[in-house]
Amino acid sequence: MLERFRAFWTKVFAPIANLLLRLGVSPDAVTLVGTIGVCAGALVFFPRGQLFVGVLVIAAFVFGDLIDGHMARTSGRVSKFGAFWDSTLDRIGDGAIFIGLALYFAWEEPSRIYLVLSLVCLLMGGVTSYARSRGETLGFSVKVGIAERADRLVAILAMTGLSDLLDLPVLLYVALWALAVASTVTVAQRVWAVRKQAMAETATTI
């Protein structure tokens, strides 16, 4: 759903991407810096209860995901390693966000249930991405599900920031419940999609 906004934001940040290319900065370096920034925002600020500040830091670096892609396409440096690098670091950044929230519920605002939910979101978010990657490697179409990565990322960041800014922790609680369910459903949808295609493929070869 939120992928439709990618073209708009890419145009907004195109001048920055072009400047970095002129300075000799590589797209892979931008990807790395962006991931480090996301991890720092999540693992430094979230466990200390500074949720809104953490979200601002993370949001600032998340746009690196748009900048590096534009840089790679503009410079003609699109490569298989670049795609692998970007996808791998995305998983690290996404994981850091939920680890930061788990530490927040372990230290700053103790709650076993929301600590567990944070870990469930961490696990199922990773499996969601893996299921698509593995399925596509096997030649199946797996772009299905109610919770794409962009949707999950925006939802958790928006609700985390607003819960702190408005002093309404229920917003974060609702977001974690919703994402835990949505991510689990998405994994099931992708498994089912691959199963149907695999069975149809098997049937045609008999």
Q: What are phi and psi of 148, to 5 degrees?
A: -70, 165
**Rounded CA separation 90/153 (Å):** 11
Burial of 19 (0-12, 13-18, 19+ CB in 10 A): exposed
Amino acid 69 reads G
Residue appearing with tokens 């369910």: 181
Residues in the chain: 206
Of residues 28, 68, 90, 94, which has the active-site annotation? 90
Active site residue 65: no
The secondary structure element, H or E, covering residue 80 is helix 80-103
The catalytic site residues sit at: 90
